[in-house]
Structure 1
Amino acid sequence: MRNEKKFVHKRDLLVCVIKRKSDLKLLLEAKSYRIPEKYINPIGINYIAFYFPSRIFKGGKKIEMYAKLMSYKIIKRRYLPNYESTKAGINEDYVNFTFKSIKNLKSPIANTSHMRVTFKRTEYSLLKKVSTLAQLYNVKPLEDIMNDVLSDWGKPFKREYTVKTEGGKYRLDFAILCNEGILGIECDSKKWHSSKKQSERDKIRDSFLEKKGLKLIHFKENEVIMKSRDIIEIIEKGISALGGFSAS
């Protein structure tokens, strides 16, 4: 029998959040960043990427900087650089990371899915290859996520459903057969559906299919990833508007 090696992905990159401008100042001037130890095990971390939220930084919601870890130390909060004495928890253990230099990414990694960003580990090898946070976190393709949502829902649906008309064939991401027509479900990733040209194509296609009796529902990337309960409620309303599930 042939021996097969198991390949284990190295989750050596930690994504952290720059929550305040004072955090950014400390990072750039002291080459330092700190995290409560209860949130992260530092063993195996070699790199840290820094996420900037839009509520603090204009034009944020993206990773713009990263650094190779030089060292880390577990210390009490009161001994941290620039410790704020008015804060509670002075004896809480923190991981204090230090770096030799802070680097800018040539192409920032955008949070196009509006994901909630917390301390999370992933692979450094992906950092300079991807353009979105979902890709960096190895989130499934949208259609696979939607398939999971619909499967958990437990009602009949069809994936990659082809509609044939005199104008040609059209493929829907998902379809639900109803008594008074077909409910089509489309997953619109920002990568493929954000351009003006593609948006116009989608409108023409949708208008044609709706004239043929189909009802179409489009879900944006962030809705598919973050709002599965809302998705099902919208789909159920669409089914009801088409007379319920088809018996065939």
Structure 2
Amino acid sequence: MTENDLTREEPRVLVAVMNNHRDFRIAGEEGWYRVPYERAPSRLGADFLALYQTKAFGEERWAVNYYAPIRRYHIVSRRSLLPDEPDHPRADHLYYKIEIGALHRLPRPIPSRRLRRITFIPTTLDRLLRAQEINDLWFGDAVEEKLWQAFKENGISAERYYPLKEEEEAYQIDFALFCKDGRIAVILEGQTSVDNVSVVREQPRIDDYDLAARGWTVLRFPGLELIESLPSCLDRIQGAVAKQRGLSSEQWG
């Protein structure tokens, strides 16, 4: 996805993690949210902030329930944000202070079907308001979107951009399928061309051997193959799922 994919004509949303009640109170009553400067996503700028709530929030846990308009951004020290914690080890570290308007409850929660690590998700307001689950929020290139739509139409439950870490290198699996007898990594690769627009996939590559050692079955598809032969690609994926006794309904990945 490029910056041009999220145009100014379509309001942009940054989904961020909310993992404790104090920070939720600050967002609601004081109107701001903080992001460590060194860990900020590349696409931090947005028109709205949405909050993915973790296990601390009881019945609202593991879902996006609230969003708010973003007013402005500042870069400040943690000490100035939280002056009652002057001895905190990160007191002098820099943070983005995101000032927000009133929190609004979404028409319906956007749950995470599988418990997984989520940090930031750049999306659009239209996707936020239409999403039925977390994976609907991610905004991929046209090939990814085509496969995601095919998964939904065929009842194939998948996790998009599933994170993995190998030593110091971080990776993402384009689509992770969790089965009763194993896990399937569907990885799109190579150069694709959709509607005369070329897309080169540049994410770090993890070896099939390393994935297999972790218990993954790896299915790699060149983007052009998915464009030209989606039904046969889907048959191959469904065959791999059947060999592992179907998809699992367990929450943990």
**Which bracket does the TM-score occupy, shorter chain normalised?**
0.5 to 0.7
Deviation at 1:22, TM superposition (A): 0.5
State whether residues 43 and 122 of structure 2, in contact with CA within 8 Å, keep that contact through their aligned partners in structure 1: no
Assess, with a 3 A threshold, how the Cα gap between structure 1 residues 7 and 138 changes in structure 2: closer, same or farther: closer
Give the match for residue 31 of structure 2.
31
State whether residues 34 and 96 of structure 2, in contact with CA within 8 Å, keep that contact through their aligned partners in structure 1: yes
Amino acid at match of 1:24: F
Give the match for residue 8 of structure 1.
4
Could you list the runs of 5+ residues in structure 2 that have no partner in the other structure?
141-147, 159-174, 176-183, 188-216, 222-231
Distance 1:113 1:28 in 2: 27
RMSD of Structure 2 on Structure 1 (CA): 3.3
Any residues of structure 2 matched to 1:91-110 within 5 Å, and which?
91-110=92-111
Secondary structure of 1:57's counterpart equals helix
Give the match for residue 232 of structure 1.
none
State whether residues 77 and 94 of structure 1, in contact with CA within 8 Å, keep that contact through their aligned partners in structure 2: yes
Deviation at 1:159, TM superposition (A): 5.2
Which has more radius of gyration?
Answer: 1
Could you list the runs of 5+ residues in structure 1 that have no partner in the other structure?
1-5, 162-171, 176-184, 187-214, 228-248
Which structure has the highest strand share of the two? 2
Give the match for residue 67 of structure 1.
68
Distance 2:52 2:105 in 1: 12
Give the match for residue 128 of structure 2.
127
Distance 1:159 1:128 in 2: 28
Secondary structure of 1:45's counterpart equals coil
* TM-score with structure 1 setting the length: 0.58
Deviation at 1:50, TM superposition (A): 0.3
Aligned-pair identity in percent equals: 19
State whether residues 77 and 83 of structure 1, in contact with CA within 8 Å, keep that contact through their aligned partners in structure 2: no
Secondary structure of 1:50's counterpart equals strand
Distance 1:98 1:7 in 2: 22
Distance 2:130 2:19 in 1: 25
Give the match for residue 238 of structure 2.
173
Secondary structure of 2:26's counterpart equals helix
Assess, with a 3 A threshold, how the Cα gap between structure 1 residues 64 and 43 changes in structure 2: closer, same or farther: closer
Instruction: Work out the number of aligned pairs and report it.
Output: 169
